[in-house]
């Protein structure tokens, strides 16, 4: 059982492709996606304690019973039967209401960290089952890398690593509510339905241009994020091979084959937007730092 503090890195995600293919019997939307972990991380430090304390210094995210990190800690204790506590500090870097699964990364980081801290030896499948009870993107945040993801986010198929590239990620001034984005989709539909199978083939072939040609997001048209076209125009103007919104929004990203082009685009965007990130594909999910 780990007595020293445990430090965990938990990756943000991008949707290389997102399609809505129907509605499930439970009323949720049936999705087909290719998801990618990136080198933008939440950092968590966990210590053994008699109580459950979660802190997010500098973040405006409320820490209450609805917080995903709190839910994850409670789910872990309930599943393992451990009568214990934990002190968790989360240093957030992933934008909020961005479609980048920052809250899910926090949950995944808590589960991985507590598994190490208390020597619980839960398997990845056990952690993913716990994660799915907290939020749809938590299993992917645990697995990381590149995955084809279906259903509500609960059906994951790991893919080979994404071809080497650079991502420029921009958070607009206003976030997007996921439920509202899906409500608009139900009213408006979408003119775009990306071919996730073709994108999967491109990943398997290591073909970045083909990957970018297949990238797209069926929710972009109805997200309500008004700044998306302007951000995409700047990304495209600096040579992005593809640009699109991630998740239900509001973050927008461009894919670049070369670091220099990505850095130039990021520099141009920082003149207008406070939250601009340069990242690469990450091959893993939430993990304990040695």
Distance between CA atoms of 18 and 83, rounded to whole angstroms? 41
Question: Rounded CA gap, 15 and 147, in Å?
Answer: 10
Does residue 282 have an active-site annotation? no
Out of 13, 19, 71, 92, which one is annotated catalytic?
Answer: 13
Contact 219, 259 (CB under 8 A): no
Q: Which DSSP helix (H) or strand (E) runs through 233?
A: helix 228-237
108 to 4, 93, 179, 218, 263: CA distances (angstroms): 20, 15, 22, 26, 30
150 is known as an active-site residue? no
**Edge-to-edge, what's the strand order for the sheet holding 252-256?**
242-245, 252-256, 166-171, 275-279
In 172-288, which ranges are E strands? 216-217, 242-245, 252-256, 275-279, 287-288
| Terminal Cα-to-Cα distance of the chain (whole angstroms) | 15
CB 261 within 8 A of CB 239: yes
Instruction: Identify the active-site residue in 19, 32, 106, 137.
Output: 137
Measured on CA atoms in the order 218, 96, 279, 258, is the torsion positive or negative? positive
Report the C-alpha gap between 46 and 119 in whole angstroms.
13
Active site amino acids? 13, 137
């Amino acid at each position: 059982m780990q007595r020293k503090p445990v430090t965990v890195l938990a990756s943000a995600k991008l949707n290389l492709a997102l399609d809505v293919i129907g509605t499930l019997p439970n009323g949720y939307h049936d999705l087909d996606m290719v998801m990618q972990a990136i080198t933008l991380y939440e950092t968590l430090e966990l210590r053994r304690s008699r109580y459950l304390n979660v802190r997010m210094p500098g973040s405006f995210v409320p820490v209450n019973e609805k917080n995903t990190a709190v839910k994850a800690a409670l789910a872990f204790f309930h599943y393992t039967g451990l009568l214990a506590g934990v002190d968790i500090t989360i240093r957030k870097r992933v934008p909020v209401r961005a479609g980048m699964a920052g809250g899910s990364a926090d949950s995944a980081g808590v589960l991985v960290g507590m598994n190490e801290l208390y020597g619980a030896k839960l398997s990845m499948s056990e952690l993913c089952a716990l994660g799915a009870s907290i939020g749809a993107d938590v299993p992917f945040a645990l697995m990381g890398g590149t995955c084809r993801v279906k259903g509500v986010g609960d059906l994951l198929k790991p893919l080979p690593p994404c071809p080497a590239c650079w991502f420029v990620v921009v958070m607009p001034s206003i976030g997007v509510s996921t439920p509202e984005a899906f409500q608009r989709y139900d009213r408006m539909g979408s003119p775009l339905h990306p071919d996730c199978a073709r994108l999967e083939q491109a990943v398997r072939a290591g073909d970045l241009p083909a990957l970018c040609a297949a990238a797209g997001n069926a929710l972009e048209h109805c997200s309500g994020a008004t700044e998306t076209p302007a951000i995409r125009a700047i990304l495209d103007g600096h040579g992005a091979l593809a640009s699109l919104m991630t998740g239900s929004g509001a973050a927008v990203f461009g894919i670049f084959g070369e670091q220099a082009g990505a850095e130039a685009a990021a520099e141009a965007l920082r003149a207008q937007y406070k939250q601009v990130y340069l990242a690469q594909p990450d091959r893993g999910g939430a993990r304990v730092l040695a």
